Amino acid sequence: MTQGFMRYKMKNALSVDVEDWYQGILQIGYNQWSQYEERLSKGLNKVLDLFAKYNARATFFVLGYIADKFPEAVERIARGGHEVASHGYYHRPIFEQTPQEFEEDVSRSKKIIESITNTKVKGYRAPFFSVRKDTLWALDILEELGFEYDSSIFPTKNFLYGIPDSAHTAYKAGKGKLVEFPLSVIGRGRFTIPVCGGFYMRVMPYKLIKHGIRHFNRSKGPAVIYMHPWELDKEKPKLPMPLKWRIIYDYNIKTMGSKIERLINDFSFTTIGEVLFGG
């Protein structure tokens, strides 16, 4: 692969939700986390090495729990020129929290990350994209806590998350100061196709992903792409669970590394902070 050859000029936002493989599983509560094998560095090192190879900058939404346990991982991310933002503390979906619990969880994660990086945390991404119609109150709390943007709303609908009729590009939300940068989709209504990462990127052939992002860039502007370190960890354990969930957590993991590499070779990527605010 020729580095930078024919790379599209528009800068898109690249993001990584930093959690270990078992922390992103809805069926496992944080009080059970200690039972599972720690593998964060296996995927995270691959992500950081790959981004460095192609000069791609990204926003890393780090769990407060991870920052507390592995401050050196947060330092390494920041040293790589990336933006460090918050993914909450315990990876609980917002719809399972009261507003007060949510405020405590997010505030705790923001403080620990800021104490490590000495830089103000501007951004937040909800676990399981759980800012939905019934949890929009969360945006007001984020604004009160000093966040400048949220990137949690999926303008689509599935059994777990999504606000199907919401905007596809960045807009003012909360009390009016917070910017919402939604996950990128193309199409409308029943024909909405997420083109932006994680599970969707594992399922779709690379050609379709590339085409989708090009289409989004031409018609709407910068896209936001997301991924997880565990998606580059091909040997991560697979837990027995119903087929639907096995597909969500494990399907096509072996293809993710090469898709991400082709993506950051074909497109220019930077942090969400830079795409939204120029820095």
Task: Name the residue nearer to Zn ion (CB basis): 10 or 203.
Answer: 203
String of DSSP letters for 33-93: GGGS---HHHHHHHHHHHHHHTT---EEEE-HHHHHH-HHHHHHHHHTT-EEEE--SS---
Structure tokens at 166: 């919401």
Give the total of residues touching Zn ion (CB under 5 A): 4
Q: With respect to Zn ion, which residue has the nearer C-beta, 148 or 231?
A: 231
- Run of H or E including 253: helix 253-266
**Cα 63 from Cα 145, distance rounded (Å):** 17
| Smaller CB separation from Zn ion, 48 or 63 | 63
d(CA 51, CA 230): 15
Distance in Å, CB of 268 to Zn ion, minimum: 25
> Binders of Zn ion among 15-34, rule CB under 5 A?
17, 19, 24
The nearest distance, CB 77 to Zn ion, in angstroms, is 16
Closest residue to Zn ion, judged by C-beta, is 17
Site string for Zn ion, 100-139 (x = CB under 5 A): ---------------------------x------------
Residue 129 near residue 228 (C-beta atoms within 8 A) = no
Tell me, what DSSP letter sits at residue 111?
H
Q: Are 178 and 148 in contact (CB under 8 A)?
A: yes
Rounded CA separation 274/279 (Å): 4
> Least distance from C-beta 87 to Zn ion, angstroms?
6
Per-position x/- string for 227-266, each x denoting binding to Zn ion as judged by CB under 5 A, each - no binding? ----------------------------------------
CB nearer Zn ion, residue 19 or residue 148 = 19
Provide the residue count of the chain: 279
Q: Which is nearer to Zn ion, 186 or 227 (CB)?
A: 227
Helices 71-79 and 99-117: angle between axes, nearest 10 degrees: 60
Nearer to Zn ion, 127 or 162 (CB): 127
Nearest approach, Cβ of residue 160 and Zn ion (Å): 12
**Are 150 and 180 a contacting pair, CB within 8 Å?**
yes
> Which amino acid, one-letter code, is at 134?
D
Supply the minimum distance, in Å, between the C-beta of residue 197 and Zn ion. Answer: 12
Q: Tell the smallest beta-carbon distance from residue 210 to Zn ion (Å).
A: 25
198: left (phi over 0), alpha (psi -120 to 50) or beta: left
Least distance (Å) from Zn ion to the CB of residue 238? 18
Provide, rounded to whole angstroms, the least separation between the CB of residue 26 and Zn ion. 10
Residue 26 or 193 with smaller CB distance to Zn ion? 26
Taking the least distance from each CB to Zn ion, the nearer of 18 and 170 is: 18
Segment holding 145, helix H or strand E: none
Which residues in this chain contact Zn ion in the complex, by CB under 5 A? 17, 19, 24, 127
